[in-house]
């Protein structure tokens, strides 16, 4: 009973977020174009460096020299990760801006259902653009993806999802209180952009940075899915990635809920819940 | 024990001002006392007004009762549930309208807004559909139900907020300045909807804050005065107005020269208190003078004004209003307008 | 618009005092200043790491074929240091006006008796001083971390060209602030323009790379790109700073274009700003939105 009510809240939030999303057509357009531009600039840069779509050095470092597929898959997985990580805090911030956060918090449903709804809707919109992106990139640049492993890759993503959601909860809590959202997002995304192995393998990073990368769940998601989709890999390799991910799932779900609740309490004490 | 819908128990709240967010904290912190030991009991079915000037702490109290702010000390029972211990049950029992018009999604239609909130309030879909239709036509918005809220006027948005607050048919309504900034026509229809339909007909308990004294006077069963976070007096409007004693009020509107009005008023020995208001640039001032036995002094007052070169534009003896009582109790006016 | 030349000195004073105020405000949040000085390194580093991963070192033969210089690290450091100015022209000016619009001080500025362009110019002045600081810090930090090989004997011309670019960029900044005041959600628009410029200007890769694999479309993109002041400036600067760099466009032409662009963009910016102001007044209140 309780669960079916909360699930209904999740779907209601998803539906509303999607309706709202498409009422801002300019955003939709930019959302569709921006990742394409990013892929484009990474690929052009690669072309300028090696003159073709194959890098001998990358082949030496990893199992593949096809840096276009390497990078595109890295970008796609990371954009899914970002959409879960930021989806919730971004939407909360939006509600503070539009003034609807207080009315939402006045309802008797769980905050986590609302947050999950926001994460889910942002993942859905991301999926749409990712599919568009994959199609375009495949047509334009010749993406070579091992589609047989796609179900396994999706499973791998599902395993990493709880940890992303946990981190998303904590970010949502922090943003509720720390109102400088864009600077915060900017800072963390830039940091992630450096630490996550999106357009290069991890062993390129200086060792002290690599330790930070290993502390980030998206690192494992990218490595695992890329292995499955681009490079081909062994089961033992995958298990080596899944074990830390499962650990992170538990750790971040608990930490995320705790951090969110602590921050929410702080905001309820400050009286700044709805403040922009 | 009488049947109370809302009981506040020694609620206090202070805010710390001047906080930057992490990691850019600034050092200096001032505290502002918003509520100081507030005790109120609001009976079931009562329409209770909280009257006080801007910054008195009205919004803070409403937000504490609606679980959006945690008090520093004390607590409150709303519909029998403790706001600190059972916030979920409190939320399910109340409908809230906050001042300001940004509590709806402007890019959704009225109906979409209401359907969304109905689900979050656990109203079954069929019931929600029916209620939305009924409520919208009751408040006269049925023709605009499928327009984006963006296209609404402030008054219409306020009405819609009210509908949103009663979607789940709560027993208790908390209304924070429901007519703030609306034009008189809208204010009037919203007031009568609250009083006649929601309170009298549907029997809802309503706590309403306002800084318009007429609103409190005309609508409320009981009124509490709040000033600087303290409850100064609680009673029915009629009995509050007798608190001022036998005093009468003489209201004079004059065209003044320089500071002459104040100089005149200061020299009148029989005044117990007075209040001068008026636009800063304009020379037209309104003076309210409190005294016993107005008839005996009118002549002297008129002469003093004309001696000082002030032209009297109108003059009337009035019954004390709630604002007069408020001024008497606190030494402060409710708002800028009089 | 007619300019009264007797007023130039007092108007300049308005600009200078606005600039002073803005810089003081910025210095009051030293953590932010440090934050913005360091951030761009995080944007640059992934490109350098990607380069290392793809070619295994800091020198690419193919890059040399395209640009005359195979040192893609120094190439990117120059590009991203200069990009600081684009960021500040896009985000700084427009958003600071937006904040004033929110805070209600924009109206005060627009109705104050001094020329509003003096105020805007003051903002641009303080922004460019701060940005120059950021750009230099970034260049220094990046050279420290990743190593850069540049010729410094032409530094005087470098400064001159950068100054020209700043003027032209702030002309565009004017244009954009006008647009931002009319536009409801500037964030998405600015983000898009930002990314677009980053992609089509030779920040990390030479202009020729655009044509390399985009073919005919690439040619038109290059044609668009060279009209944006960053592109000619980067071409000139790299010629001055990078040993053996081969510019894709004629340097003398690029320099003259910068001068023309400055005049054109500033004029369009002023006209548009006046237009927007009038529109906003007609709609009743600049705070209206
Ligand atoms: N979140 C907050 N942080 C700091 N001060 C606040 C906050 N909210 C309200 N205040 C201050 O507390 C006092 C009471 O405010 P409020 O409850 O909004 O009064 P009212 O609704 O009667 O106008 C005011 O002085 C106000 O400035
Ligand atoms: Mg208030």
Structural domains of chain B in order of their starting residue, each with its CATH number: 4-241 (3.40.50.300), 248-319 (3.30.70.120)
Cα B76 to ligand 2 centre (Å): 19
Give percent of chain B with pLDDT exceeding 90: 57
Q: Which of A23, A45, A54, A205 to mutate to test the interface with C (most CBs of C within 10 A)?
A: A45
Q: Is A23 on the interface with B (CB under 8 A)?
A: yes
| E strand residue ranges, chain A | none
The two beta strands, B81-82 and B73-78, are antiparallel
CB spacing of C204 vs A58 below 8 angstroms: no
Query: Residue C46 and residue A194: Cβ atoms within 8 Å?
Result: yes
Count of Cβ atoms closer than 10 Å to residue B26 Cβ: 10
- Is it true that the peptide bond before A181 is cis, omega within 30 degrees of 0? no
Question: Could A45 and C42 be called an inter-chain contact, meaning their C-beta atoms sit closer than 8 Å?
Answer: no
φ, ψ at C111 (rounded to 5°): -95, -5
Which residues, listed in sequence order, are joined to residue B12 by a DSSP beta bridge?
A: B73
Q: Which residues line ligand 1 (CB under 6 A)?
A: A 270-272; B 15, 17, 32, 34, 52, 54-60
CB contact under 8 A, A8 and B119: yes
Assign B28 to helix, strand or coil.
coil
What residue numbers bound the domain in which A257 lies? 2-270
For residues A222 and C184, which has the higher predicted lDDT (pLDDT)? A222
Angle between helices C251-283 and C230-241 (to 10 degrees): 150
Q: What is the DSSP string of B236-265?
A: -HHHHHHTTTT-EEEEEEEE--TTHHHHHH
Alpha-carbon torsion (B254, B255, B259, B263), positive or negative: negative
Output b/e per residue, B62-75; b: 16+ Cβ within 10 A: bbbbbbbbbbeebb
**Structure-block tokens of residue C244:** 């053996």
- Classify the phi-psi angles of B151: left when phi > 0, otherwise alpha if psi is within -120 to 50, otherwise beta: alpha
Q: In the predicted model, what is the mean pLDDT of residues C268-277?
A: 79
What tokens were used for B20? 């930057």
Q: Find the B57 Cα to ligand 1 centroid distance in Å.
A: 6
* Cβ count near B277 (within 10 Å): 12
What is the mean predicted confidence (pLDDT) over B181-186? Answer: 87
Q: Which residue of C has its CA nearest to B26?
A: C29
Residue B281 phi, psi (nearest 5): -80, -30
> Which ligand is nearest to the Cα of residue B54, counting in written order?
1
Neighbors of chain C with 3 or more C-beta pairs under 8 Å? A, B
Does residue A240 have a pLDDT over 50?
Answer: yes
Ligand 1 center–CA B276 separation, angstroms = 27
Residues of chain B contacting C31 with CB distance shorter than 8 Å: 23-24
Nearest Cα residue in chain C from A52 = C213
Least confident of B319-328, C156-165, C198-207: B319-328
pLDDT tens-place string over residues A165-176? 999 999 999 988
Touching A: which chains, 3+ CB pairs < 8 A?
Answer: B, C
Residue B298, pLDDT > 50, answer: yes
Q: Looking at the complex, does the CB of residue B16 fall below 8 Å from at least one CB of chain A? A: yes
> Is A43 part of any domain?
yes
Give the pLDDT score at C280: 67
Q: How far is the CA of A105 from the centre of ligand 1 (A)?
A: 19
Rounded-to-integer distance, Cα B59 and Cα B176, Å:
6
- CA–CA dist A214, A217 (Å, integer): 7
Query: Cα A174 from chain centroid?
Result: 17
Residues of B in contact with C29 (CB under 8 A): 24
Tokens of C191: 């983000």
Closest chain B CA to residue A10:
B120
User: Residue whose CA is closest, atom 12 of ligand 1?
Assistant: B34
Give the model's confidence band at B23: pLDDT under 50 very low, under 70 low, under 90 confident, else very high.
very low
* Residue linked to tokens 């945690």: B70
Of C42, C195, C213, the CB nearest to A37: C195
| A199 inside domain | yes
Tokens at A229, concatenated: 């989709």
Atom of ligand 1 nearest to the CA of B17: 4
* pLDDT digit string, tens, across residues C30-77: 777 888 888 889 999 999 999 999 999 899 999 999 989 999 999 999
Shortest distance between the Cα of A145 and any Cα of chain C, in A, equals 20
- Picking from A256, A176, A181, the residue whose alpha carbon sits closest to that of residue A217 is A256
Kindly report the number of other CB atoms within 10 A of residue B118's CB atom: 22
Alpha carbons C94 and C172: distance in angstroms, whole number: 10
Ligand 2 centroid to residue B95 C-alpha, Å: 17
What gap in Å lies between CA A74 and CA A64, rounded to an integer?
A: 13
Q: Which residues, including other chains, have CB under 8 Å from residue A206's CB and lie 6 or more apart?
A: none
- With both helix axes pointing from N to C terminus, report the angle between C116-146 and C8-27 in degrees, rounded to the nearest 10: 40
Which chain B residues are Cβ-neighbours of A103 within 8 angstroms?
A: 96, 98, 103-104, 117, 164
Domains identified in chain A, total number: 1
Q: Sorting pLDDT into bands at 50, 70 and 90, what band is A110? A: very high
Which ligand places an atom closest to the C-alpha of B19? 1
Work out the pLDDT band at C5, boundaries 50, 70, 90: low
Cα–Cα–Cα angle for B294, B298, B300, nearest 5°? Answer: 125
pTM: 0.86
Alpha helices in B71-221 (DSSP H): 87-93, 110-120, 125-138, 154-166, 184-192, 213-219
What mean pLDDT is reported for chain B?
Answer: 88
Residue B285 neighbours by CB under 8 Å, 6+ apart: B253, B254, B256, B261, B276, B277, B278
Residue A275 placed within a domain: no
Handedness of CA A48, A52, A56, A59 (dihedral sign): positive
Distance B33 CA to ligand 1 centre (A): 9
Per-residue pLDDT tens over the stretch C131-144: 899 999 999 999 99
Which of C37, C50, C70, C92 would you mutate first to test chain A, the one with the most A CBs within 10 A? C50
Q: Which residues contact residue B301 at a Cβ distance below 8 angstroms, ignoring those fewer than 6 apart?
A: B250, B252, B268, B289
Residue for token pair 């400064």 = C159
Select from A108, A109, A268 the Cβ nearest to the Cβ of B69: A268
Sign of the Cα torsion A194, A197, A203, A208 reads positive
Q: Angle at Cα C197 formed by Cα C196 and Cα C202, nearest 5°?
A: 125
For chain A, give the mean pLDDT: 90
Q: How many CA atoms lie within 13 A of B328 on its CB side?
A: 23
Query: Would you call B270 helix, strand, or coil by DSSP?
Result: coil
Residues 6+ apart with CB under 8 A from B287: B251, B252, B253, B254, B261, B265, B274, B275, B276
Give CA–CA dist B51/B322, Å, rounded. Answer: 9
**Is some CB atom of chain C closer than 8 A to the CB atom of B22?**
no
Counting ligands in written order, the one closest to the CA of B51 is 1
Largest CA distance in chain C: 62
The answer to whether B91 contacts A100, with C-beta atoms less than 8 Å apart, is no
């Amino acid at each position: 009973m309780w669960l079916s009510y909360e699930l209904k809240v999740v779907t209601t939030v998803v539906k509303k977020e999607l309706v709202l999303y498409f009422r801002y057509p300019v955003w939709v357009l930019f959302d569709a174009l921006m990742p394409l531009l990013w892929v484009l600039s990474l690929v052009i840069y690669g072309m300028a460096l090696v003159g073709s779509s194959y890098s001998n050095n990358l082949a030496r470092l990893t199992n593949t020299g096809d840096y276009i597929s390497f990078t595109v898959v890295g970008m796609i997985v990371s954009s899914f990760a970002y959409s879960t990580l930021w989806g919730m805090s971004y939407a909360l911030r939006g509600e503070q801006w539009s003034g609807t956060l207080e009315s939402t918090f006045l309802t008797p449903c769980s905050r986590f259902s609302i947050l999950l709804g926001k994460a889910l809707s942002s993942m859905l919109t991301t999926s749409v653009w990712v599919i568009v992106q994959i199609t375009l990139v495949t047509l334009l640049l010749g993406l070579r993806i091992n589609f047989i492993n796609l179900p396994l890759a999706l499973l791998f993503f599902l395993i990493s999802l709880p940890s992303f959601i946990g981190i998303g909860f904590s970010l949502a809590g922090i943003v509720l209180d720390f109102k400088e959202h864009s600077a915060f997002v900017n800072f963390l995304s830039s940091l992630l952009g450096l630490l996550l192995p999106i357009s290069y393998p991890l062993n390129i990073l200086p060792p002290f940075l690599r330790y930070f990368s290993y502390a980030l769940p998206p690192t494992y998601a990218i490595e695992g899915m890329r292995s499955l989709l681009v490079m081909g890999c062994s089961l033992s390799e995958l298990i080596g990635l899944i074990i830390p991910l499962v650990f992170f799932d538990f750790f971040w779900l608990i930490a995320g809920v705790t951090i969110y609740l602590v921050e929410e309490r702080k905001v309820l004490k400050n009286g700044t819940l709805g403040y922009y | 024990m009488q049947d109370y819908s809302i009981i506040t128990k020694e609620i206090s709240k202070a805010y710390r001002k001047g906080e930057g967010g992490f990691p850019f904290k600034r050092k200096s912190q001032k505290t502002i006392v918003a509520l100081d030991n507030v005790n109120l009991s609001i009976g079931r079915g009562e329409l209770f007004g909280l009257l006080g000037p801007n910054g008195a702490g009205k919004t803070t109290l409403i937000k504490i009762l609606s679980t959006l702010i945690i008090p520093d000390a004390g607590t409150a029972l709303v519909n029998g549930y403790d706001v600190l211990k059972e916030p979920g049950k409190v939320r399910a029992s109340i409908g809230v309208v906050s001042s300001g018009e940004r509590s709806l999604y402007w890019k959704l239609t009225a109906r979409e807004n209401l359907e969304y909130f109905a689900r979050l309030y656990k109203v079954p879909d069929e019931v929600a559909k029916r209620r939305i239709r009924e409520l919208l036509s009751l408040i006269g918005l049925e023709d605009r139900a499928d327009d984006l809220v963006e296209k609404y006027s402030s008054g219409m948005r306020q009405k819609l907020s009210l509908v949103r607050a009663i979607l789940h048919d709560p027993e208790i309504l908390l209304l924070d300045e429901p007519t703030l900034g609306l034009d008189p026509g809208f204010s009037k229809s919203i007031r009568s909807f609250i009083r006649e339909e929601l309170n009298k007909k549907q029997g809802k308990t309503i706590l309403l804050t306002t800084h318009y004294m007429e609103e409190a006077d005309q609508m409320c069963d009981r009124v509490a005065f709040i000033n600087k976070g303290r409850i100064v007096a609680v009673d029915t409007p009629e009995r509050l107005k007798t608190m001022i004693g036998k005093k009468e009020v003489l209201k004079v509107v004059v065209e003044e020269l320089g500071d002459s009005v104040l100089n005149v008023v200061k020299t009148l020995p029989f005044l117990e208190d007075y209040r001068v208001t008026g636009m800063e640039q304009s020379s037209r001032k309104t003076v309210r003078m409190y005294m016993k036995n107005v008839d005996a002094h009118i002549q002297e007052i008129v002469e003093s004004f004309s001696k000082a070169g002030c032209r009297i534009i109108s003059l009337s003896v009035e019954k004390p209003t709630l604002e007069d009582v408020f001024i008497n109790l606190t030494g402060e006016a409710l708002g800028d307008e009089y | 618009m007619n300019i009264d030349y007797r007023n130039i000195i007092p108007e300049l004073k308005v600009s200078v005092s606005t600039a002073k105020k803005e810089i003081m405000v910025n210095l009051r949040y030293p953590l932010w200043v440090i934050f913005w000085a360091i951030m761009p390194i995080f944007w640059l580093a992934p490109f350098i790491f990607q380069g290392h991963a793809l070619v295994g070192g800091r020198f690419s033969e193919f890059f040399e074929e395209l640009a005359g210089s195979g040192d893609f690290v120094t190439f990117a450091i120059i590009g991203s240091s200069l990009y600081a100015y684009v960021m500040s022209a896009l985000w700084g000016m427009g958003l600071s006006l937006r904040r004033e619009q929110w805070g209600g001080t924009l109206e005060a500025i627009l109705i104050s008796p001094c020329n509003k362009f003096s105020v805007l110019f003051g903002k641009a002045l303080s922004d460019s001083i701060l940005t120059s600081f950021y750009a230099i810090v970034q260049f220094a930090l990046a050279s420290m971390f990743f190593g850069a090989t540049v010729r410094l004997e032409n530094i005087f011309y470098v400064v001159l060209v950068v100054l020209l670019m700043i003027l032209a960029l702030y002309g565009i900044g004017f244009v954009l602030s006008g647009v931002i005041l009319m536009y409801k959600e500037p964030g998405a628009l600015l983000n898009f323009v930002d990314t677009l410029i980053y992609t089509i200007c030779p920040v990390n890769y030479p202009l020729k790379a655009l044509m390399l694999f985009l073919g005919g479309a690439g040619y038109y993109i290059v044609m668009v790109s060279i009209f944006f002041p960053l592109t000619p400036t980067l071409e000139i600067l790299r010629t001055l700073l990078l040993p053996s760099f081969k510019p894709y466009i004629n340097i003398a032409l690029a320099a003259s274009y910068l001068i023309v662009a400055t005049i054109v963009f500033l004029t369009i910016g002023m006209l548009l700003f006046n237009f927007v102001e009038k529109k906003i007044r007609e709609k009743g209140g600049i705070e209206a939105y």
